[in-house]
């Protein structure tokens, strides 16, 4: 976890374009950290869907950078064994991701309606 946090901090400095390649790896690591084989299996089966939805949400300006910070905060909480904080931060991350995804879908619908 420490190593991944360091890599992500460097990525945060580099910019958003390198983030996509790390997104699946971050989620994989977080899913493993739950130490629930069943949950890991379920979430692993949703990897493509989660990645696709995230990429749509990243069309929201600044969302990639926000998402990276959210992932870092979750990982830091887990590293520090702050389980309740990690859960709270994960809920916020999921809600923010959902809002960005919905915003993207609404923008696409609006564009279609105008055409």
Q: If residue 53 lies in a helix (H) or strand (E), which one and from where to where? A: helix 47-57
Matching residue, tokens 């887990």: 78
pLDDT in tens, 1-28: 788 788 777 776 665 555 666 777 777 7
Range of the domain at 12: 2-114
The answer on pLDDT for 75 being more than 80 is yes
Residue with tokens 């089966």: 45
Per the structure, how many domains does the chain have? Answer: 1
Q: Would you say the C-alpha torsion 89, 44, 100, 106 has a positive or negative sign?
A: negative
Sign of the torsion formed by the C-alpha atoms of 102, 85, 35 and 71: positive
Q: Choose between 99 and 41: higher pLDDT.
A: 99
> How many Cβ atoms are within 10 Å of 56's Cβ, its own excluded?
19
pLDDT recorded at residue 49: 87
Q: By the 8 A CB rule, do 19 and 68 touch?
A: yes
Q: What is the pLDDT of residue 29?
A: 80
Nearest-angstrom CA–CA distance, 17 and 33: 26
Please state the φ and ψ torsions of residue 15, each to the nearest 5 degrees.
Answer: 125, 175
């Amino acid at each position: 976890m420490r190593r991944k946090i360091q890599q992500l901090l460097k990525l945060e400095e580099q910019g958003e374009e390198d983030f996509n390649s790390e997104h699946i790896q971050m989620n994989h690591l977080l899913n493993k950290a739950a130490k629930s084989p069943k949950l890991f299996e379920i979430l692993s089966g949703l990897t493509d869907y989660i990645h696709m939805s995230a990429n749509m949400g990243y069309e929201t300006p600044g969302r990639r950078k926000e998402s990276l910070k959210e992932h870092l905060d979750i990982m830091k909480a887990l590293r520090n064994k702050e389980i309740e904080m990690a859960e709270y931060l994960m809920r916020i991350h999921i809600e923010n991701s959902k809002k960005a995804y919905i915003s993207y879908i609404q923008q696409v619908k609006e564009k279609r309606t105008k055409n």
